[in-house]
Amino acid sequence: MTWKPNPKYKFTFGLWTVGNVGRDPFGLPTRPDLSPAQICDLVGEAGAYGVNFHDNDLIPIDATAAETAEIKRDFTAALKRNKLKVPMATVNLFTEAVFKDGAFTSHDPAVRAYAVQKTFRAMDLGAEFGAKIFVLWGGREGAESDAHKDPYIAIQHTRQAFNLLAAYNIEKGYGYKFALEAKPNEPRGHIYNAVTGSYLAFIQTLEHPEMFGVNPEVAHEHMAGLNFVHQIAAALDAKKLFHIDLNDQEFGRYDQDFRFGSANLKHCFHLVKILEDYKYNAPRSFDCHAYRASDFEDLKWFASGNMRTYEILADKAQRWNTDKDIQALVKKITAGDEKIAKLLKSSSKASVKSIAEASFDRHELANKRLPYEQLDQLTMELLMGVR
């Protein structure tokens, strides 16, 4: 197997990911800046399907009209020569000092309106390059102390902003789907809508819930000690998994944004398996960056490594689904009385009555074998490459 990236997976990279220069809160950059066109060449060479950008990854905030036109020209040419698409665009509402206390949740209505206007323009820019998914990550929407901002009011402000974005989307006929990205903290002490589940509930309160879904990121849920695969199950079940940020992360640490599969291979395996089993069909975006010590050559390993690991795990998932011993165990474990299973599927009066009146022998039911050690060991052996 060559593990050449298959276009069906729609592997994408944000310009800010491969373009990360290795700056951290304690240290200066360790790699030179790459232009958007250079980033396209690198990921294009690695076989990616597309790139994503924040407004200011592509067009610096103070660029003149002439500079903007030149950047767009170079970028368009780079997309073309590398056969890259731009499926997703987003907006930077976290770098500038004006957003020091939030964008959509700032106390100041003028800051909130400026943030909405900046997002309108980022939507215009994304649409110019064909993006149909618009990610919203509220990195500054939070507080260090709840003395500073009323979290109940912050929810109202967030809703107002999202409703305005939906109205603009309709007015311009862009056809965007908004994908909301949760994170529990960093760079704020506390970020509102801390986990994917918060957004899944919040979406139902918007004027256009059908336009909004989620963009869960592995690292963000693992920072909070949560099981990412379960978040994905909830998003898939709600038909709200509009986009996904793949990367990796040690539990309980800062947002490490490591290469996909580099820290928790078993979780990543189950993640790929659920995406493939339930036919997730939106882009698989890698939101991560290379180690700070890596140089330009090593960046190529970083880019192709993300995609290779996904493909290898997709192959493992398929093997798991067809492995005779594993499937025989799964069959035994999940077997049960079909008539009872049918009753449980209906909430009709008849079902309620039958269940209420049925007799169960709990001791006998408890005797059923669940050889989970065996099943997990076989899974691990498959992952370790000896099956």
The residues carrying an active-site annotation are 54, 57
Q: CA 197, CA 234: separation in Å to the nearest integer?
A: 8
Whether the CB-CB separation of 191 and 137 falls below 8 Å is answered with no
Binding of residue 287 to ligand GLT (CB under 6 A): yes
Whether the CB-CB separation of 214 and 252 falls below 8 Å is answered with no
What sign does the CA torsion over 360, 361, 362, 367 have? negative
Q: Which is nearer to ligand GLT, 262 or 379 (CB)?
A: 262
| Interface positions, 236-295, toward Mn ion (CB under 5 A) | 245, 255, 257, 287
Q: In the chain, at which residue ranges do the beta strands (DSSP E only) sit?
A: 11-14, 50-54, 88-90, 133-137, 142-143, 177-181, 190-191, 212-214, 244-246, 284-286
For residue 187, the minimal CB distance to ligand GLT (Å) is 9
| Interface positions, 216-255, toward ligand GLT (CB under 6 A) | 217, 245
For residue 90, the minimal CB distance to ligand GLT (Å) is 5
Size of interface with Mn ion, in residues (CB under 5 A): 6
Q: Which is nearer to ligand GLT, 101 or 217 (CB)?
A: 217
Q: Which is nearer to ligand GLT, 195 or 317 (CB)?
A: 195
| Interface positions, 4-23, toward ligand GLT (CB under 6 A) | 16
| Interface positions, 101-140, toward ligand GLT (CB under 6 A) | 135, 137
Size of interface with ligand GLT, in residues (CB under 6 A): 9
268 binds, among Mn ion, ligand GLT, none (CB under 5 to 8 A by kind): none
Tokens 């491969």 belong to residue: 18
**Among candidates 170, 172, 195, 174, which has minimal Cα distance to 185?**
195
Residue 195 structure tokens: 């986990």
55 binds, among ligand GLT, Mn ion, none (CB under 5 to 8 A by kind): none
Q: Which amino acid, 210? A: E
| Interface positions, 209-228, toward Mn ion (CB under 5 A) | 217, 219
Site string for ligand GLT, 32-71 (x = CB under 6 A): ----------------------x-----------------
For residue 183, the minimal CB distance to ligand GLT (Å) is 7
**Among candidates 101, 91, 96, 102, which has minimal Cα distance to 57?**
91
Measured in whole angstroms, the distance separating CA 283 from the mean position of its chain's CA atoms is: 10
For residue 108, the minimal CB distance to ligand GLT (Å) is 22
Q: Which is nearer to ligand GLT, 18 or 329 (CB)?
A: 18
Q: CA 379, CA 347: separation in Å to the nearest integer?
A: 36
> Which of 55, 57, 181, 248 is in the footprint of ligand GLT by CB under 6 A?
181
For residue 178, the minimal CB distance to Mn ion (Å) is 15
Q: Which residue is at the shortest CB distance from ligand GLT?
A: 137
Strand 88-90 vs strand 50-54: parallel, antiparallel, or unpaired?
A: parallel
Q: Which is nearer to ligand GLT, 248 or 287 (CB)?
A: 287
Q: CA 316, CA 209: separation in Å to the nearest integer?
A: 36
Contacts of 105 (CB under 8 A, 6+ apart): 112, 138, 141, 142, 149, 154, 157, 158, 192
3-state secondary structure of 130: coil
Q: Which is nearer to ligand GLT, 78 or 218 (CB)?
A: 218
**Among candidates 2, 4, 73, 1, which has minimal Cα distance to 307?**
4
For residue 57, give the H/E element and its range.
Answer: helix 55-58
| Interface positions, 75-94, toward Mn ion (CB under 5 A) | none
Q: Which is nearer to Mn ion, 248 or 255 (CB)?
A: 255
For residue 184, the minimal CB distance to ligand GLT (Å) is 12
For residue 361, the minimal CB distance to Mn ion (Å) is 50
Footprint on this chain of ligand GLT (rule: CB under 6 A): 16, 54, 90, 135, 137, 181, 217, 245, 287
Q: Which residues bind Mn ion (CB under 5 A)?
A: 217, 219, 245, 255, 257, 287
